[in-house]
Amino acid sequence: MASRAGIALLNLLGRLPLPVLRALGAWIGRLLFVLAAPRRKVALRNLDLCFPDVPESQRRAWARESFEAFCQTFLDRGWLWSGSEALVRSRVKLVGAVQELEGDTPTIVFAPHFYSMDAGGLALPLNTGREFTSIFATNPDPALDAWFMGGRQRFGNVRMLNRADGVKPIIACLRKGGLLYLLPDMDYGRSDSVFVPFFAMPDAATIPSLSRFARLGRAKVVALYSRMTPEGYVAELTPAWENFPTDDHVADTARMNRELEAAIRTMPAQYYWVHKRFKTRPEGQPSVY
């Protein structure tokens, strides 16, 4: 009941003018930055590890803005997932190398964890009729799981796959000329991970799925970087990456992190710093948290 009531409230808040909704989200974010001490410490530690040469005052400002962006984008799901298609189209723009979506070349969309990723996930099916597959973890709350799945599948030909479904349906979709929306930039544990640099950290555990899926699916890779703006969201597609994948999945994964670093530097406060990105350490190394 609590989940359903919360979803109903978000849908109701989604009817507010966007500046009012964003102001509310910023206020909640500033409050959470004070109250959610464990996550605040994680965000500050991540920024300290990644940007050791940036003044502490700037890192703290980014962390506070990150909490605000988290809450603003969460409240925005009210209109993203229940507002009219016309409203969503007016606020969510797809720009950049949109021509990469044309045709039927198997395509992987590298979509890292910026807080605006769900807006970017809607921008694609709103602008292409191609089959679109995405991989997400199931939420243990059935009401929230249905809300997340329904919101992400509301436009276009979108199929959501659980990570437990394995690789076969993913590769089958790609080889049929589909799109795969892939978010491989979190720390998913030691299994199948490789240790490659990420910002100032030389050994971030990272899964090499982007390289492997591209090779198995004979797919090109484009990146989608989603940014929150005062008017809504802008999702920018990059041209297909040249010389990717190679035969070296470790080198490919290091390149993926370098590409992501460049995007984060353009909007550091909008990345998902509240996740323990460096929780998995090489054998024998202590926790950095």
What CA–CA distance (Å, rounded) separates 42 from 143?
28
Average pLDDT, the chain: 93
Domain assignment present for 60: yes
- HSE-CB at 128 with a 13 A cutoff on CA atoms is 23
Cβ atoms < 10 Å from Cβ of 256 = 27
Amino acid at 258: R
Total of domains in the chain: 1
- Domain assignment of residue 253, yes or no: yes
Q: What is the mean pLDDT of residues 85-111?
A: 95
Cβ atoms < 10 Å from Cβ of 49: 17
Over pLDDT 90: what percentage of the chain? 74
Q: Is 233 within the bounds of a domain?
A: yes
Say if 279 falls within a structural domain.
no
pLDDT band, very low/low/confident/very high, at 175 (cuts 50, 70, 90): confident
Kindly give, in sequence order, each residue whose CB lies less than 8 Å from that of residue 185, ignoring residues fewer than 6 positions away. 112, 113, 206, 256, 257, 260
What single letter denotes the amino acid at residue 180? L
Confidence of residue 69 (pLDDT cuts 50, 70, 90): very high
Determine the structural domain holding residue 103 and report its residue range: 1-266
- pLDDT, residue 31, reads 98
- pLDDT band at 133; cut points 50, 70, 90: confident
Chain segment 206-261, per-residue pLDDT in tens: 999 999 999 999 999 999 999 999 999 999 999 999 999 999 999 999 999 999 99
- Domain membership of residue 284 (yes or no) is no
In a domain, 289, yes or no: no
Closest CA to 266 of 116, 121, 109: 116
SS (H, E, C) 27-40: HHHHHHHHHCHHHH
Q: Using CA atoms, how far apart are residues 110 and 182, in angstroms rounded to an integer?
A: 5
Model confidence band, residue 165 (pLDDT cutoffs 50, 70, 90):
confident
pTM of the model: 0.93
Which residues have C-beta within 8 Å of that of residue 205, sequence separation ≥ 6? 187, 188, 189, 190, 193, 194, 195, 278, 279, 280, 281
Pairing of strands 179-182, 232-237: unpaired
Distance of CA 24 to the CA centre of its chain: 23
What tens digit of pLDDT does each residue of 181-214 get? 999 999 999 988 999 999 999 999 999 999 999 9
DSSP conformation letters of 156-191: SSEEEEEGGG-SHHHHHHHHTT-EEEE---S---ST
